[in-house]
Amino acid sequence: MTTSSLLPNFLGGQWQTGTGEGTPLFDPVLGTELARVSSAGLDLAAGFRFAREQGGRALRALSYGERAGLLAAIVKVLQAHREAYGEIATANSGTTAKDSAVDIDGGIFTLGFYAKQGESLGGAHALLDGERIRMGKDPVFQTQHVLQPTHGVALFINAFNFPSWGLWEKAAPALLSGVPVIIKPATATAWLTQRMVKDVIDANILPVGALSVVCGSSAGLMDQLQPFDVVSFTGSADTAAIIRSHPAVACAGVRCNIEADSLNSALLDPAATADSEAFNLLVSEVVREMTVKSGQKCTAIRRVFVPRALYDAAAQAIGAKLTKISVGNPRNESVRMGSLVSQAQKASVLEGIAKLRTEAEVLFDGSGVALVDADAAVAACVAPTLLGAREPAKAKVLHEVEVFGPVATLMAYDSIEEAYELIRRGEGSLVCSVYSADPAFTAGAALALGSAHGRVHAISPDVAASQTGHGNVMPMSLHGGPGRAGGGEELGGLRALGFYHRRSAVQASSAALDALAASAVALKY
């Protein structure tokens, strides 16, 4: 293996190839090696310093509106290479064309959204947070809270399931804020992230140092962080704990955002019947969430709560739809669901299913059907699996273990209060979806469950055609969740800019505050 097969890193304003043989990236369906990545030998300290000093200074010299223009230009570059990204996603992530679009187009859409949001901020270089407040009886002396871009870098340690969206949903608000970005993509699917960054760098859109990518090991990255830097991580709770305990976060005050494990739920109104539209909407959404990207979404439905009287009907209806999901090589047009991203992930999912089965019955197992155009001994494919628990209150593992694949567990409840309590046993999730034709029930459920979730997604017959999907993260809505979900917040429109800004209270005369306001704009959500 030669260094020519290594994907280059962009750090310190230049392309650099890591040393050593590197870590191979594979096609999870065919098992063939695609490329290798290595961050060994990189001068991380110099790279972070360059981004912080060169990239940050150049970005902050621009207004929000000018930086928004840069995001719009990035959108055009990515759209021009859209076909190539789809081919990379199929080869490196094992996704169908439709599932690849969820990641690729989702990232591009989010960039475009923040480009438009940034236009509204115009030529300002700071944000006014709230109204002025008098400090005493005399109105001449007042206080104004101001948000200014932090003078640091944003380090993104991303997950394997969204190499495009995971990059741009973080980078868009960071760059709009004026903060340079260093991305560490998950190794297994790093190719798409690296290629997108390369296309943007080659287009000379951003100031040098504003955007960097380091592929391979994350060793030493956290050690480079300084007090005004920020770090955002998406991945396992175990790794999140390591990041939170790192001296940069624990001692130096580096701002940290975490998105970790999440046992997301779907809840059916107890008033629903087996022939109601709410019931059918739940069935369709559960199947979609189990199979899109082979269930490898942080927001996918993992637990499905239905009234006890509808447990068997729901199991049959979901199973009937799952029988139509063909699994195998995503290059075959008849395939509805591709593979997991790696053999390691396949082993993890199968192990997780075995754990869940200690407390659940198997309601649907698609593993008996042959894969389409794929060798079961080579491909990292796992068929959809629906489990069930008639007495979920007695379960423990079902409310603790997230299986990151095409797996969900149907659960029966006897009262809505019991359902709420069982959902909360997930100890904090990214999203819960509610299925009902009753606005009053939906409102009550949202209030009952909102404190345990970052998002409550209500699907009723009147929005069936326009709702964006339980698992789809839209940039205008908050993404994140309390408790085991990480306690972080991303997106939510211009709310996302807060993570990359520092708030200060300026106490001064009205004349001074007038002068300050001339170069700032009021932040309106």
Q: Which residues are catalytic?
A: 259, 298
DSSP 426-460: T-SEEEEEEE-S-HHHHHHHHHHHGGGEEEEEEE-
Pairing between β-strand 230-234 and β-strand 211-213 as defined by DSSP bridges: unpaired
CA–CA dist 166, 380 (Å, integer): 22
Distance (Å) of CA 127 to CA 139, 166, 254, 312? 22, 26, 22, 55
Distance (Å) of CA 227 to CA 369, 384, 502? 54, 45, 12
Residue located via tokens 């960039």: 111
The token pair that represents 105 in the structure block:
């187009």
* SS3 at position 233: strand
Classify the phi-psi angles of 221: left when phi > 0, otherwise alpha if psi is within -120 to 50, otherwise beta.
alpha
CA–CA dist 315, 322 (Å, integer): 10
DSSP 2-30: -GGGBPPEEETTEEEPPSSS-EEEE-TTT
Number of residues in the chain: 525
The token pair that represents 403 in the structure block:
């299986």
With contact defined as beta carbons under 8 Å apart, do 27 and 12 qualify? Answer: no
The token pair that represents 136 in the structure block:
């005493």
The strand order across the sheet containing 264-268 reads 361-365, 385-389, 407-413, 301-307, 264-268, 429-435, 453-459
CB-count burial class (<10 Å; 0-12, 13-18, 19+) for 118? buried
With contact defined as beta carbons under 8 Å apart, do 437 and 448 qualify? Answer: no
CB-count burial class (<10 Å; 0-12, 13-18, 19+) for 333? exposed
With contact defined as beta carbons under 8 Å apart, do 51 and 182 qualify? Answer: yes
CA–CA dist 168, 196 (Å, integer): 10
Q: H or E element: which one contains 49?
A: helix 44-50
